[in-house]
């Protein structure tokens, strides 16, 4: 049984994220993690257990589609961020992952000025051989990719074979043949609302810098920049007129410490100049996640789970806060949180915070 097959089985089971995936491998090993996850899901029969047939089908389908998986053990896998999904589906020029890059994002309904300036920036960065990363959405994303199709990476919100939006059929195939497509979703998975934050986290993690060319205050681009700040990324924002609502998000970023983007050379000087120090790497996922009590009693597990449910909301809270509230040790809390994540009840983040998943 191949390692990638086993790792994919773990990653596709339940609701396992990056933090819990790494914790399980550290505490159980690959085979032990598979056994543990299967047991948790069998005890909660309403949850679907990934089958080996599903895993084999995904591996075969991706290969036949011209793609492959990359994991943390591969040399090409980006090394500067601990929150990236541990397994990614890719199609295209994998060498692009080794090059300097900038994530360019913005509104789906840009103004003419926003479109033109995005084209200008990406054209200038293309001349510097910078890879343009974006999410292949309509508007700013599309323009960013189109200016650089042979040197661009598109991060998709569905399976790597799913063209979204449909209007970008030709762009998708152009990037597939000349650039690089990336997805963390299973092959064939349709786009859902829950996939967009995951896609945005990858966008924030991959680029050496993030540039917002036009965004309203409620734009998804600002969610991506929030992840970027946690990842110690440099955030650049194109300024807008204070009365122009289409640039309200841009101006908020500038107020909050973002770099002014009114000249493409600024990014090159700030991020890619040889005279600058190397980009600061993201701290490793905290060692708190390695403390894991496999021997917690059933009674304590049930009591602790109720306490955690009462404490959590859709807003992330730190694990330290959970420990303080429940009065249970770290190992017990980690064990119960891991089980809750497998069951799709919580989402866990690399900065040791947790939020409740509300199922409508």
pLDDT in tens, 192-206: 988 998 999 999 999
pLDDT confidence band for 80 (50 / 70 / 90):
confident
Backbone angles phi, psi at 152, to 5 degrees: -135, 150
Q: What is the pLDDT of residues 221-274, one digit of tens each?
A: 999 999 999 899 999 999 999 999 999 999 999 999 999 999 999 999 887 764
Find out whether 132 and 160 touch, Cβ atoms under 8 Å. Answer: no
Q: Would you state the pLDDT for residue 284? A: 42
Does 336 have pLDDT greater than 80?
A: yes
Q: Would you state the pLDDT for residue 290? A: 63
Q: Match 């200008």 to its residue by tokens.
A: 120
Q: 64: burial class by Cβ within 10 Å (0-12, 13-18, 19+)?
A: exposed
Beta-carbon contacts of residue 93 (< 8 Å; ≥ 6 apart): 178, 179, 180
Backbone angles phi, psi at 91, to 5 degrees: -140, 130
Question: What share of the chain in percent tops pLDDT 70?
Answer: 92
Q: Would you state the pLDDT for residue 157? A: 97
In what helix (H) or strand (E) does residue 172 lie, and over which residues does it extend? Answer: helix 169-178
Check residue 53 and report its DSSP letter: H
Question: What share of the chain in percent tops pLDDT 90?
Answer: 70
Q: Give the separation between CA 59 and CA 164, rounded to whole angstroms.
A: 22
C-alpha closest to that of 240 among 254, 228, 258: 254
Task: Please give the radius of gyration of the chain, using alpha carbons only, rounded to the nearest integer.
Answer: 21
Domains of the chain: 3-50 (no CATH), 89-274 (3.40.50.450), 298-356 (1.10.10.10)
- The CA-atom distances, in angstroms, between 189 and each of 12, 159, 183, 228, 324 are 12, 5, 10, 26, 39
For residue 36, the SS3 value is helix
Cβ neighbour number for residue 288 with a 10 Å cutoff: 14
- The CA-atom distances, in angstroms, between 212 and each of 15, 110, 206, 240, 280 are 31, 12, 15, 11, 21
82 or 191: whose pLDDT is higher? 191
Cβ neighbour number for residue 134 with a 10 Å cutoff: 27
Check residue 268 and report its DSSP letter: I
Q: Give the separation between CA 184 and CA 202, rounded to whole angstroms.
A: 9
Mean pLDDT of the region 91-104: 96
C-alpha closest to that of 239 among 220, 267, 258: 258
Q: What is the pLDDT of residues 33-45, one digit of tens each?
A: 999 888 887 777 5
Q: Give the separation between CA 212 and CA 121, rounded to whole angstroms.
A: 11
Q: Give the separation between CA 182 and CA 81, rounded to whole angstroms.
A: 16
């Amino acid at each position: 049984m191949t390692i990638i097959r086993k790792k994919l089985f773990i990653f596709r089971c339940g609701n396992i994220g990056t933090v819990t995936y790494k914790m399980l491998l550290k505490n159980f090993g690959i085979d032990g993690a598979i056994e543990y996850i299967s047991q948790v899901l069998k005890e909660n029969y309403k949850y679907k257990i990934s089958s080996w047939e599903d895993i084999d089908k995904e591996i075969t389908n991706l290969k036949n589609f011209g793609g492959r998986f990359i994991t943390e053990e591969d040399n090409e896998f980006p090394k500067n961020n601990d929150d990236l999904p541990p397994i990614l589906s890719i199609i295209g020029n994998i060498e692009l992952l080794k090059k300097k890059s900038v994530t360019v994002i913005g509104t789906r309904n840009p103004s003419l000025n926003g479109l033109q300036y995005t084209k200008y920036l990406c054209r200038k960065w293309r001349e510097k051989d910078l890879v343009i990363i974006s999410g292949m959405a309509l508007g700013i994303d599309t323009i960013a990719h189109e200016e650089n199709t042979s040197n661009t990476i598109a991060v998709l919100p569905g399976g790597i074979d799913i063209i979204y939006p449909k209007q970008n059929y030709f762009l998708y195939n152009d990037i597939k043949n000349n650039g690089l497509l990336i997805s963390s979703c299973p092959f064939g998975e349709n786009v859902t609302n829950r996939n967009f934050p995951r896609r945005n986290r990858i966008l924030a993690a991959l680029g050496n810098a993030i540039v917002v060319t036009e965004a309203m205050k409620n734009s998804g681009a600002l969610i991506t920049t929030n992840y970027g700040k946690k990842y110690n990324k440099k955030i650049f924002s194109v300024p807008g007129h204070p009365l122009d609502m289409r640039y309200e998000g841009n101006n908020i970023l500038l107020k909050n410490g973002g770099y002014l983007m009114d000249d493409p050379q600024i990014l090159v000087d700030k991020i890619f100049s040889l005279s600058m120090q190397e980009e600061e790497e993201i701290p490793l996922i905290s060692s708190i996640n390695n403390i894991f009590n496999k021997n917690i009693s059933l009674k304590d597990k049930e009591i602790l789970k109720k306490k955690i449910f009462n404490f959590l909301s859709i807003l992330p809270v730190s694990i330290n806060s959970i420990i303080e509230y429940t009065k249970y040790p770290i190992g017990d809390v980690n064990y119960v949180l891991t089980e809750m994540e497998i069951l799709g009840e919580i989402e866990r983040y690399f900065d040791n915070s947790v939020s409740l998943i509300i199922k409508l």
